Structure 1
Amino acid sequence: MTEKWVVGVDLGGTTTKIAFLNTTGDILHKWEIPTDNREDGKYITINIGEAIEQKLQELGQSKANLLGIGMGAPGPVDYTNGIIYNVVNLAWEDNYPLKAKLEQVTSLPVYIDNDANCAALGEMWRGAGAGAKDLVCVTLGTGVGGGVIANGKIVQGISGAAGEIGHITVIPEGGAPCNCGKTGCLETVASATGIVRLATQKLNGEPEYQGKLMEVFKNKGKVEAKDVFDCAREGDSLSLAVIDEVAFHLGLVLANLGNSLNPEKIVLGGGVSKAGAILLDKVQANFDRFAFSRVKDSTKISIAILGNDAGVIGAACLVMNEN
């Protein structure tokens, strides 16, 4: 190995993505392992350590040339101490010392941050936010995640919970329950899960409607977010109504974030962002409607370009920021 490598880890509830990158953020090797939640999640860090060792052996490389490990984890993180909170999906106890555990099994320096923060860092370093030092990244997937970067640095907050954009309340009264324990969060509306909930609610509430989405619903017994976007492109009225509702709440939240932070770019990622113009044009229109004039003129909404690699690239960036 003639150059130093960095390890990026994107820890998920089902699978863990791991990559070796060079110091300029190019992915050299990447692979996945299952996330083993058995016995209070004690095997998660052990398995990551073993996977790194095995891959190094396969490649004939030495651990001595690794600068360190960066990891994005799903939950609020105390960046300074590498402690992760509220990790029910991973079976760890609260206040889990993730940094210390992974350093123990790998004998390498480890840096931990929230997974959405890492995705934001990745997009800033090598993606749609390249060149921007003030950036908001919103991931629209099964849930809604977020990361805020100010002057090139992740905004952590006092307890590691800054950037929880998905839990901004958009429906203060009578909103749907969210997994966080609140109701009416943006996540209950703008995530893939939220879009399906809205569509199903409308289908059940409008028995006289006989459009394209109802055909899909009857054939499959359910609808998916992709079905809503596909039917909307064909002019389906109910699907368009769902997208109007989603775009209103998302555009309003993004405008308020813009008004608060005035970032150079707001980057939208995750599966829902792949819907394209049918959603994004309406989000932009609502952003323009609610954003302060100078924010509207200076903040650009862009689509994330790194896809599933954003997490490992951003995690590697954590290491580079410390070296």
Structure 2
Amino acid sequence: MFKHMNNNYVIGADIGGSHITAALVDLANGAVVDESKYKEPVNAGAGAEDILSRWTAAIEHVLSAANKEVAAIGIAMPGPFDYPGGISLIKGVAKYESLYGLNIRTALEASLQFEKGIYFENDASCFALGEAWAGEGAGCSRMVAVTLGTGLGGTFLRDNIIVHEGKGVPPEGYIYHLPYRSGIAEDYISSRWLLNEYQQRTGQRLSEVKSIGELAEKEDATALALFTELGHALGEVLSPWLRDFEAERLVIGGNIRKAHPYFLPALQASLRKNSIQTSVHISGRGENSALSGAAWLCKSILGHDNNNAR
């Protein structure tokens, strides 16, 4: 289908809680070849053999379409995970627990019969790398990317390189566990908080944040108040770090980003209150950013630049 790739392409894969998406990505510009994209449903609670067979099927579909002429495979993987070693450390989070302790790289190399290199990076970090390369952060030297979803992901980038320490960077480069109010940031900035708070305030249990977004669109007072509070909390948590890191742009992704009309004004007001000049951008690329970021990981390694290699 996609012949004569000449190793100018890699496969980027994004592993989520219910599926895997894989696609060809152009090493020249980070563009995802949309017609090559393939999504395979995955039961995260299944046994290791079943999960790995699903992951293999998705990547193999793209690999075969490219006549196996790809330079490498990059995978955006949720943690905890030994990214350099390729070993799953996921445990106690009700997903992919059957993979605990397994060398995923070795398993995929065998099932795909692929010897050119399979590389892994945190999924939130891949989102950030993809946005910096081919999205809202393109051309920016200092960027912070945040993913708003089940949890709160954050990545600090300087010249397209992930920064884990230094001025303006929280411990290990993570923001989810920063102290906030009576707990940590993720307790107040996540889909879990939105759903729990909505139930507490209304007595109505909703299964997904999308429903709260739809209620906000209908001017439901509780839904609007929750998104405003979330935006304010995000601004409070990020302000000192954006200031010290001297971030030029803040890029927001994750499923909650779709409700940005309802939380963005409060976020921007909070940043202004703290005299933060960082511009705020909402990602419009969806999972393509994670796919591009996984490809950037391959590009940096193939180019002998190991700053992002894990």
Structure 1: how far apart are the matches of 2:102 and 2:181?
33
Change (3 A) 1:52 1:230: closer
Aligned residue number for residue 21 of structure 2: 17
Change in 2 beyond 3 A, CA 1:283/1:317: same
Could you say which residue in structure 1 is the equivalent of 2:293?
314
State the shift of 1:232 in Å.
4.3
Among 166, 172, 187, which residue is 1:162 paired with? Answer: 172
Selected match of 2:108 from 102, 105, 121: 102
Partner of 2:306: none
| Count of residues paired in the alignment | 286
Deviation at 1:274, TM superposition (A): 1.5
In structure 1, the residue corresponding to 2:116 is in which secondary structure?
Answer: coil
Does the 8 A contact of 1:200 with 1:223 survive in 2?
no
The match for 2:184 is 185
Q: Write the letter of the residue equivalent to 2:137.
A: G
- Whole-angstrom distance in 1 between the partners of 2:45 and 2:253: 31
* Aligned residue in 1 for 2:197: 198
Q: CA deviation at 1:50?
A: 4.2
Q: Using a 3 Å threshold, how does the CA distance of structure 1 residues 265 and 83 change in structure 2: closer, same or farther?
A: farther
SS class of match (2:184): coil
- Map 1:1-323 to 2 at 5 A: 1-4=4-7, 5-23=9-27, 24-28=29-33, 29-37=36-44, 40-57=47-64, 59=65, 61-63=66-68, 65-87=69-91, 88=93, 89-92=95-98, 94-105=100-111, 106-156=114-164, 162-172=172-182, 184-204=183-203, 217=204, 222=206, 225-232=209-216, 235-290=219-274, 293=275, 296-297=276-277, 299-323=278-302
2:123 aligned partner, one-letter code: D
Unaligned runs of at least 5 residues, structure 1: 173-183, 205-216
After alignment, is 120-129 or 221-230 more displaced? Answer: 221-230
Tell me the CA shift for residue 238 of structure 1. Answer: 3.2
Contact in 2 for aligned 1:17/1:33 (Cα 8 Å):
yes
Q: State the Cα deviation string for residues 291-313 of structure 1 (Å, max 9, x = none).
A: xx4xx22x211111211222111
Mapped contact 1:35–1:44 kept (Cα < 8 A): yes
Over the matched positions of the two proteins, sequence identity in percent amounts to 30
Q: CA deviation at 1:171?
A: 2.8
Higher mean alpha-carbon deviation, 224-233 vs 137-146, is at 224-233
Unaligned runs of 5+ in 2: 166-170, 303-310
Q: Aligned pair in 2 of structure 1 residues 166, 19: CA closer, same or farther (>3 Å)?
A: same
Tell me which structure has the larger Cα radius of gyration. 1
2:172 counterpart SS class = coil
- Aligned partners of 1:13, 1:222: CA distance in 2, in Å? 19
Q: What one-letter code is carried by the residue in structure 2 that aligns with 1:168? A: L
Per the normalisation by structure 1, the TM-score is 0.78
Farther off after superposition, 185-194 or 309-318: 185-194
* CA 322–263 in structure 1, closer or farther in 2 if over 3 Å, else same: same
CA distance in structure 1 between the aligned counterparts of 2:26 and 2:74, rounded to whole angstroms: 13
Residues 226, 10 of structure 1: alpha-carbon distance in 2 compared, 3 angstrom cutoff? closer
CA separation of 1:231 and 1:43: change in aligned 2, threshold 3 A: closer
SS in structure 2 at match of 1:307: coil
Q: How far 1:140 moved relative to its partner?
A: 1.1
SS of 1:301's partner is strand
Q: Secondary structure at the match of 1:13?
A: coil
The one-character-per-residue Cα deviations of 1:167-207 (angstroms, maximum 9, x if unpaired) are: 333232xxxxxxxxxxx333332222311211221224xxx
Query: Cα distance 1:201–1:43, how it changes in 2: closer, same or farther (>3 A)?
Result: same
Alpha-carbon separation, structure 2, partners of 1:192 and 1:34: 22
RMSD (Å), alpha carbons: 2.7
The structure-2 alpha-carbon separation of the partners of 1:227 and 1:27, relative to structure 1 and needing over 3 Å to count, comes to closer
More helix by share: 1
Using structure 2 for the length normalisation, give the TM-score.
0.81
Alpha carbons 1:148, 1:162 under 8 Å: kept? no
How far, CA to CA, are the matches of 1:70 and 1:129 in structure 2?
20
Q: Secondary structure at the match of 1:137?
A: strand
